[in-house]
Amino acid sequence: MASFDLPKELLLGSATAAAQIEGGDVNCNWYAWSLAGRVGKGESSLGGAGHWDRVEEDVALLSSLNQECYRMSIEWSRIEPEQGAWSPEGLAHYRRELELLAAAGIKPHVSLHHFSCPQWLQERGGWLAPDAVERFLAFARRVVEEYADLAAEWTTINEPNVLANSSYMEGNFPPGAKGDLGGYFRASRALIEAHCRAYALIHEIRDARGYPEPTRVGFAHHLAVFTPKNTFAALGTALSDFLFHRIYFAGFVEGRLLPPLGFGKPFGRPGANGLFCDFIGVNYYSRHLFTACARPPFAAQGVDPKAADRNDLGWEIYPEGLFQVCSAAWKRYALPIHITENGIADASDSRRGRFIIDHLAQVRRLLDTGVKVERYFHWSLIDNLEWHDGYGPRFGLVEVDYATMERKPRPSARLYAEICATKRVPESAGQGA
């Protein structure tokens, strides 16, 4: 692959999530989940990557790697550790982090919900609690009022499809339900309502204050390429695509409930474009091969056995899929695309450099076909707690020694830093960086 340039207006950066890197949070539902032995090999979320105590160091790291933007999340349990009790320490901490980013000239992109919630909400049913949406909106209001001056770009909810599926179908996330299709649908509807109402709320707060930088709100949608193995699997694959992708597009972007979630557009005030998004966040990692099965949705997810290029978790590395999913989203809504996550589990760092180059080549291809891609966030800045997979997977541009919390940029981080600085993507050099 020949070298190529990226436009200066495309901002390049990296992403993290608070619950995965901060450590020390005993009020988060993932701490209780880890105490129950449901994380990795009985690992605890308490350590994380030590980010809570190393904010200054990590922002300096971002700067040294020439990151133009940074996607971060604000942990709900840090802000509201007990219901209705706002933490001055938590509020001050994130203001400090955002101020450090501003001083470094790094544009923040703030996520309000990234899989985790306070344990007090989990004990009341999580997203199935009768007042879950209202509680989330109270949290969102408190956070946006606090940081409206420092952040103009907001993701309301990260990967609602993964959250609902992992919580109620696969049993990997709290509360650990399996095959609970009703729970999946009810949680999905609550997440859609929360997003639509938060969209209006964030605009209301920031727009009323008259900040010069326009308010931009969206969500981060996990989009994968779904491919049927044969004609027998085609129907199940289409149904899986509907349940995992389409109902969330309709809900989060249009404010429209598709059956079985409901009917119509019940959640009120879209933007001037008639939609509930100013951009679409795309989290893309892989392609999935589906075979037919007897149980709903009549398709079983797997990996193409012919796929030779895989990450450490066994996921197929399929760069063309990034072009496919972003093109489809653009064709449907013509909204700017923020690639909010794209990365690889690669402990040896032998494939990450090529991964970055090959996926940025798809970004270049998208731009060349008229798709408006505005942000690219590599997942992740640093190694982290990869949810139920624990600390084994290594997604970081920067290696973390979990015994000492020492940070060490990998060779791929230096490659990406050069790309961020120059907007010049070098020729791919095979499997390595």
Catalytic residue annotation: 159
Category of 255 on φ-ψ map: left (φ > 0), alpha (ψ -120 to 50) or beta: left
The rounded distance, in Å, linking the Cα atoms of 170 and 158 is 18
311: tokens are 């990450």
Rounded to 5 degrees, what angle do the CA atoms 147, 148, 150 make?
65
Whether a cis peptide bond, with omega within 30° of 0, leads into 297 is yes
The rounded distance, in Å, linking the Cα atoms of 21 and 303 is 29
C-alpha distances (whole Å) from 353 to each of 7, 86, 392, 413 are 20, 42, 20, 8
- The total number of residues written for the chain in this structure: 433
DSSP H or E segment with residue 70: strand 69-73
Query: CA 263, 267, 271, 277 torsion: positive or negative?
Result: negative
**Cross-strand partners of 182:** none
Query: Longest C-alpha distance within the chain, in Å?
Result: 57
C-alpha distances (whole Å) from 286 to each of 6, 222, 297, 363, 371 are 23, 10, 20, 15, 20
Burial of 76-114, coded b for 16+ CB within 10 Å and e otherwise, reads: bbbbbbeeeeeeeebbebbeebbebbeeeebbbbbbbbb
C-alpha distances (whole Å) from 71 to each of 15, 28, 59, 312 are 4, 20, 12, 24
Cβ atoms of 295 and 353 within 8 Å: the answer is no
Q: What is the dihedral of CA 416, 420, 426, 428, to 10 degrees?
A: 40
